[in-house]
Structure formats: C-alpha cells, structure tokens
C-alpha cells in the first residue's frame, strides 16, 4: 500500500468537479428512467448521451479532464439506472483513443466495446450492437475496430448482454485496470438503487398488522446490505489504487451486488418474484458481471476463455 506523490490531491474520493458531474449525470439519466425501466437499447438515449458530451467525459484533455476517481462516480450513477448501453466500455475506450476519429455510423455511433481478454470465446459486452464499434486492439498501438462477427449473444441480462467473439481484444493493462474499476463502481450503484427501493418498500408494506420494516429480521438484513455497500466502496478504491488486486476486488463487488439483489428480492416477498417489479434485472446484471469478471480472472491466470 505504498503512497506516491501525485498532483491529484486525493486517493479515494472524487474531486468537487467529479461530484458535481455525477449529480448532473443522475438528473440526466433519471429523465429517461423515472417513468419506468429502460429494458432494451434505445438509440435516442444514446444520442442524448452523445450530444450532451457524456461519452467524451473520460477524454484526457482540457482543464476539466476527469480523473479515474471522478469516472468512478459516473459509473456508480450509471449502475443505478441499468440502461442497456455500452457506456462504460465507451468511457474507457475513448480515454485511450482520444486521437482517433469516430468512424462508425448507426444507432450507437461513437460507442465502443472490447473484450478484456484474447482468445476464442472472449466475452464482449454489447457486442454486435448497431454502430457500436468492436475494438480488436486497444493497447499501445492505434486501436483497430471491426464489425464483430457475432457467434452468440447471451442476453440473460438485457442491461449487460455478452456477445462471444472469435479472438477477443489485445488490451493494455491500463484498459483492463480501468474497466475493472468501473465495473466494480457500477456494482455499487446497482446495490445502492436496490437498497433504496427495498427500504422504501419495507416502510410501506404491511404484514401481521405492521410495516415489515419494523421487524428486526428485516431491519438487520437491510443494515447488513448497507454495510456491504460500504465494503463495496472499499473494493472500488482498492481496485483503483492496487491494480494487482483489481480483479479480485471487482469480482467481490459483483458478487456482493448479486447477494444484495437476492436479499432485496427476499425482502419484497412474492412481489419480488414477479417479472414486472423488475428486481430480476438487477440480479441478472450482477450475474452477467460476475460471469464477465470470472472469465477475465481465469484467463489472466493462464486458462483460455473457452
């Protein structure tokens, strides 16, 4: 845990600019999701993200350039809304290819995705989305894009579909590291949104003559969820500051988000088990993230993706 001098004044929290950007981003995304969940890719949301400059938020130029700690706050906000779009991969890619002109046309123009590993069967989030470029190379050289010959898309989680690519991507360690950090941060947002929903429900739902939020078993379960979320924030900061631990930290974050989704469904009771109330979307997303991260971990330790 060595500490080196850095021009950035903090090691664990975002700057005031980052905090303000996150608050603005929350308002922006809520304008699309307050009327109900977004369950399929919507080009109008992507276009709004693009024209409002959010896709370029990570580009390392100008005095307002955001540090990775600031992007963490954006990723947390992103995770709260479960919008099906390749936002996080675009943030990371554009940070490492700011000098490249946008080439793709289509509904998700300006969007990028990549695999975290090389090899047959490598997962590509949102691979095959029209206009979203699949990068086969995102390392020291000039990034190269291809149209992903989609072998199979696993859309178990609509907010994190995983396509399977024939060869994966050559990614730099920095790209991998930043992706792991932002995936962990996204899991925090997902968990926070779940906790808020669940507390709200427990405060109004009555059983045996009282709100279920008065039962100590519910109170303690939700207190535990709060503790887990704070732990997850620690995993994000660990992943950010100790790249050697980032893979494990991100997997812990995704797994914790999954168990929080399970606790949330349980606390809702039967209605939590319905399609329409939508808690399955969080569980599915967390499970997909776990799967993506597990592939990276096993490949990084020497096994091939398939």
Partner 1 sequence: MMVGAHPQAITASGSPPRERLLSPGIVSFTDSRIQAFKEEIRGRLEPAIPASWAEAKDLEDEAPAALEVRRQWDRARFEVGLACVGWPAEHGGNGFTPVEMVLYNEVLADLDAPNVYNMLGYLLAGTAIISWGNEEQQKRFLPPILEGTQTWCEGFSEPEGGADMANCQTTATRIGDGWHIEGSKIWTTLSPWGDRLYCLTRTSLTAPKRKNLSVFLLDMHAPGVSVRPIRQLTGVASFGQVFIDTDIKDSDNLLLGREGQGWDLSSLAGAHRSAGKPRASGAGGGYAERYIRRLGECARESTASAAVKEKAEELVVRFAAHGWRTKRIVELGQAGRDVSRANSTTKIAFSELVQAVTECGVELGCPTHAEFWRQKHIECRKHSIASGPNEIYRNMIANRVLGLVR
The residues binding partner 1 (CB under 8 A) are: 1, 3-13, 16, 19, 195, 199, 202-203, 211, 213-214, 218-220, 222-224, 226-227, 230-231, 233-235, 237-238, 241-242, 245, 248-249, 252
Across 268-297, b (16+ Cβ under 10 Å) vs e yields beeebeeeeeebbbbbbbbbbbbbbbebbb
Provide the 10 A C-beta neighbour count for residue 8.
10
Nearest one of 33, 34, 41, 51 to 85, comparing CA atoms: 41
Q: Which is nearer to partner 1, 115 or 229 (CB)?
A: 229
Q: Which is nearer to partner 1, 69 or 122 (CB)?
A: 69
Q: At closest approach, how far in Å is the CB of 5 from partner 1? A: 4
Q: Which is nearer to partner 1, 72 or 85 (CB)?
A: 72
Q: At closest approach, how far in Å is the CB of 15 from partner 1? A: 9
Q: At closest approach, how far in Å is the CB of 137 from partner 1? A: 30
Q: Which is nearer to partner 1, 144 or 266 (CB)?
A: 266
Q: At closest approach, how far in Å is the CB of 268 from partner 1? A: 15
Q: Which is nearer to partner 1, 101 or 230 (CB)?
A: 230
Q: At closest approach, how far in Å is the CB of 88 from partner 1? A: 21
What φ, ψ does residue 131 adopt, rounded to 5°?
90, -15
Instruction: Describe the strand order of the beta sheet including 162-165 as a list of residue ranges.
Output: 122-125, 162-165, 152-154
Q: Which is nearer to partner 1, 139 or 228 (CB)?
A: 228
Across 57-94, b (16+ Cβ under 10 Å) vs e yields bbbeeeeeebbbbbbbbbbbbbbbbbbbbbbbbbbbbb
Q: Which DSSP symbol is given to 112?
A: E
Q: At closest approach, how far in Å is the CB of 77 from partner 1? A: 16
DSSP reduced 3-state for 180: helix
CB 104 within 8 A of CB 128: no
The distance of Cα 39 from the centroid of its chain, to the nearest Å, equals: 16
Q: Which is nearer to partner 1, 94 or 258 (CB)?
A: 258
Q: At closest approach, how far in Å is the CB of 294 from partner 1? A: 12
């Amino acid at each position: 845990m060595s500490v080196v001098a850095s021009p950035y004044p903090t090691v664990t929290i975002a700057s005031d600019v980052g905090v303000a950007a996150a608050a603005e981003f929350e308002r922006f995304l809520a304008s699309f999701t307050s009327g109900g969940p977004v369950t399929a890719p919507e080009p109008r949301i992507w276009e709004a993200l693009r024209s409002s400059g959010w896709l370029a938020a990570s580009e390392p130029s100008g005095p307002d350039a955001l540090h990775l700690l600031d992007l963490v706050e954006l990723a947390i906000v992103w995770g709260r809304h479960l919008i099906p779009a390749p936002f996080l991969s675009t943030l990371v890619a554009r940070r490492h290819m700011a000098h490249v002109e946008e080439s793709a046309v289509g509904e998700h123009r300006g969007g990028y995705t990549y695999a975290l590993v090389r090899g047959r069967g490598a997962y590509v989030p949102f691979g095959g989305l029209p206009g979203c470029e699949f990068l086969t190379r995102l390392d020291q050289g000039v990034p190269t894009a291809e149209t992903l010959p989609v072998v199979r898309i696993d859309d178990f989680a609509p907010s994190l579909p995983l396509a399977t690519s024939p060869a994966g991507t050559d990614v730099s360690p920095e790209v991998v590291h930043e992706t792991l950090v932002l995936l962990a941060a996204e899991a925090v947002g997902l968990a926070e949104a779940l906790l808020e929903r669940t507390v709200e429900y427990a405060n109004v739902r009555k059983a045996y003559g009282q709100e279920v939020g008065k039962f100590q078993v519910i109170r303690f379960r939700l207190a535990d969820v709060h503790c887990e979320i704070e732990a997850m924030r620690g995993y994000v900061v660990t992943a950010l500051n100790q790249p050697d631990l980032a893979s494990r930290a991100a997997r812990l974050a995704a797994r914790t988000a999954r168990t929080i989704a399970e606790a949330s469904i349980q606390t809702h009771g039967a209605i939590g088990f319905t399609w329409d109330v939508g808690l399955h979307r969080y569980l599915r997303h967390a499970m997909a993230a776990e799967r993506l991260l597990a592939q990276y971990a096993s490949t990084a330790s020497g096994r091939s993706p398939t």
